[in-house]
Amino acid sequence: MDFNDSPQEAAFRAEARAWLEDNAERKGPGKVYRYKRGEPELIPAARAWEERKFEGGFSGIALPREYGGRGETRLQQIIFAEEEADYLIPPAVFSISHGMAVPTLLTYATEEQKQRYVPATLRGDEIWCQMFSEPAGGSDLAGLRTRSVRDGDADDADWIINGHKIWTSGAHYADMAILVTRSDPDAPKHKGLTYFFLDMKSPGIEVRPIRQISGYSNFNEVFMTDLRIPDAQRLGDVGQGWQVAITTLMNERVSSGVRPAPDFEDIFDLVRMTELENGPAIADGAIREKLADWYIKAQGVKLIRARLMTALSRGERPGPENSVSKLVSAFRRQEIAHFGMDLLDMGGGMVDPDLAPMRAMYQQALLDAPGGRIAAGSDEILRNIISERVLGLPPDIRVDKELPFDQLPSGR
């Protein structure tokens, strides 16, 4: 075993670091990035940073050269992200564009479309959002109801879209979108779907932000009313939308390695700065036991990532590492937030960043954590994925595979 980069990896890392040093400001004590999430100024800054990376040859590292990428490995892409995390740069707004939209376009779009959209996206000109989830769906992605209907009988007639999407990250600033619709409600659930891409400035789109518990609005609802999409913007065949969507989802990004706060190191810090009624908190056995449990989980997740990197460096496909890590990390974050507040006792409920330690990291995390256990694969869905795809256990009994979509029980 060897935790060092290979010579090639080390060379790339050095190159990345040198470029970053010239083009961005390194993080340091008290240095924070100037635009917070939710601020409108963030988007132009993110575009500018993406463009600068594109010029420097660091946008789309693992994407083909002929469409503006660098044509290298996913591992190098991760190495760059690791290094980038040490600099004050805009939080990623391009992850869906690079991780979902571009791979889907590369698989299903025409050559002309690829030339038109992929380089523009890598250059930061175009930001994509992904319109899959619907209010009635939840974890049941294929239960979507947004209707697509041909405007006429011609083989290349436009499509008219009506429906309602939800949990669309970035819809309020995105230029383009990928969209799955139901074109045939009489077909079984997974067989009547059709997939498109579209311009978010098209008439008939209304975006409404969703306010979360945490007070932030990372997600939107998108209402489509008589939205018109040319047939040329269909990706995959009519009725083949589920297969195209699977392509999109298989390309979900490998996490950048930026850890969600608070994690072990944070709670360890908080414990060590806390005095209890009977001495230092770090001397309390109950607290030590929790710290030990969180350490082995945090360390385990870090090491599972090292295994993933190893697999990628050999050109292997990622395994279930992300499902395991997400399941473990999302729940641990909620536990740590809960415990951190308890440690502060009667004052633990105060949310003012000037009063609560670490600028109210624990209080904010308590409100963020529930979403973390649901978004991008709920705990329950992840356990299903692990038990079915890794252990090979049978799927849940399905009542919705064969029936026409129209006739499925919906509780309504």
Partner 1 sequence: MNFDFSEEQYLLRDQAKKFLNDRAPPAAVRAVLEDDATSHDHGLWQDMARLGWVGTTIPEEYGGAGLNGEDLCVIAEELGRTLAPTPFSSSVYLATGALLMAGSERQKQDYLPDLAAGARIGCMAVAEGIGVAHATSIQTSVNDGVMTGKKLPVADGDAADFAIVLAKQGAVGDLSLFLVDLDGDGVHRTPVAMIDPTRSHAEITFEGAAAEPLGAPGDGWSLTQAIFDRAAIPMAFEQVGGAQACLDMATEYAKNRFAFGRAIGSFQAIKHKLADIYVATELARANAYYGAWALANDAPDLPTAAAAARVAAGEAYNLAARENIQTHGGMGFTWEFDCHMYYRRAKLLSLALGGERRWKDRLVSLLETRNSSGEE
* 383 contacts a copy of itself (rule: CB under 8 A): no
* 315 contacts partner 1 (rule: CB under 8 A): no
Gap between the Cα atoms of 283 and 274, Å rounded: 10
> Binding partner of residue 115 among partner 1, a copy of itself, none, CB under 5 to 8 Å per kind?
none
* Residues between 214 and 273 that touch partner 1 (CB under 8 A): 215, 268, 272
Compute CA distances 184 → 12, 149, 239, 328, whole Å: 49, 9, 7, 39
Number of shown-chain residues binding partner 1 (CB under 8 A): 107
Measured over the CA atoms of residue 400, residue 403, residue 406 and residue 409, the dihedral's sign is: negative
* Residues between 285 and 344 that touch a copy of itself (CB under 8 A): 285-289
Encoding tokens for residue 183? 């074109």
Question: What Rg value do the Cα atoms of the chain yield, rounded?
Answer: 23
Minimum distance from residue 318 beta carbon to partner 1 (Å) = 14
Gap between the Cα atoms of 327 and 379, Å rounded: 6
* Residues between 390 and 409 that touch a copy of itself (CB under 8 A): 396-397, 399
Minimum distance from residue 308 beta carbon to a copy of itself (Å) = 33
Minimum distance from residue 84 beta carbon to partner 1 (Å) = 17
* 271 contacts a copy of itself (rule: CB under 8 A): no
> Binding partner of residue 383 among a copy of itself, partner 1, none, CB under 5 to 8 Å per kind?
partner 1
Gap between the Cα atoms of 363 and 348, Å rounded: 8
* 346 contacts partner 1 (rule: CB under 8 A): yes
The closest of 181, 197, 191 to 231, measured between CA atoms, is: 197
Gap between the Cα atoms of 302 and 312, Å rounded: 15
Please list, in sequence order, all residues whose beta carbon lies within 8 angstroms of the beta carbon of residue 29, skipping any fewer than 6 positions away.
none
Residue placing its CB nearer to a copy of itself in the complex, 39 or 293: 293
Q: First CA to last CA across the chain, in angstroms?
A: 57
Is 221 among the residues known to form the active site? Answer: no
CA angle, residues 302, 103, 250, in degrees to nearest 5: 50
Q: Which of 9, 15, 82, 252 is catalytic?
A: 252
* 154 contacts partner 1 (rule: CB under 8 A): no
Question: In the set 14, 18, 85, 306, which binds partner 1 (CB under 8 A)?
Answer: 306
Encoding tokens for residue 116? 């038109």
* 345 contacts a copy of itself (rule: CB under 8 A): no
Question: In the set 105, 222, 327, 336, which binds partner 1 (CB under 8 A)?
Answer: 327
Q: Which residues are catalytic?
A: 252
Question: Which positions lie near a copy of itself, rule CB under 8 A?
Answer: 284-289, 396-397, 399
